[in-house]
Structure 1
Amino acid sequence: MNNNSQILKGILEGCILSIISRQETYGYELLKKLKESGFEDIVEGTLYPLLLRLEKNELIIAEKKKSPTGINRKYYKLSEVGDMELKSFIDYWNKLYVDVNNILGGAGDD
């Protein structure tokens, strides 16, 4: 796993929390939303371990329910702790975005 993978994993967790905060969702739907948002390289083998870790850390709550098609699916919703973590991630991301752009803004101008 290279350094970019580590950075992406942390960013993905924040993005997953954000998507789940808007609407209770299941894994495949979440994967589609991530891909539609530009994370084309994300695969189930990346997503499901992240969901398991978020659930283990009590940031999300998983519940098996029947889907409209009658199939049992594991639906995820944000916990209170997950909501606080999402707010913290957003604050950190906004600061990081500005700080990195301040440094990289002139990169390549030499």
Structure 2
Amino acid sequence: MGKQATEMLKGVLEGIVLALLAHAPTYGYQITASLRDQGFSDIAEGTVYALLVRVEQRGLVDVEKVPSGKGPPRKVYSLNAQGRDYLDEFWRTWSFLTERLDQLREGGG
């Protein structure tokens, strides 16, 4: 992924992670693996974990510690009502931006 794509991704990664959590509760490593499976191969685990700490502190997710077969319990994140509202706003903003960018690309700026 090029520098420009990496910078753009930083701006929307929170929304992407919340969208993943909207589908099913999961833990940090699985989120990173899902992102990589979808082509976001340059995302470091540390970036995802730092983002999860931020969304937890902002009250967008609920966290449950679940026993792990290997090592310490896993923190499983699930999107709560406040997180769903935030994600809805993210999608509205995303739609607005993509519509405007499409207009600019088509010469309607």
Aligned-partner residue type, residue 26 of structure 2: T
C-alpha displacement at 1:37, in angstroms? 1.4
Pairs within 5 Å for 1:29-108: 29-67=30-68, 69=69, 71=71, 72-106=73-107
Aligned residues: 104
Q: Which ranges of structure 2 fall in alignment gaps of 5 or more residues?
A: none
Whole-Å separation in 2 of the counterparts to 1:43 and 1:78: 22
| Matched residue, 1:22 | 23
CA 16–91 in structure 1, closer or farther in 2 if over 3 Å, else same: same
Q: Once the two structures are superposed, what CA deviation does each residue of 1:16-53 show, in whole Å capped at 9, x if it has no partner?
A: 00100110000000001111112111001211111100
> Aligned residues: percent identity?
37
**Distance in 2 between the 1:7 and 1:81 partners?**
25
Post-superposition CA distance 1:66-104 (Å, at most 9, x none): 24x365211000111100000110111111111112112
SS at match of 2:75: strand
**What is the CA distance between 1:8 and its match in structure 2?**
2.1
Q: TM-score, with normalisation over the residues of structure 1?
A: 0.83
Runs of 5+ unmatched residues, structure 1: none
CA RMSD of the aligned region, Å? 1.9
Q: Which runs of 4+ in 1 moved over 6 A?
A: none
TM-score, reference length from structure 2:
0.84
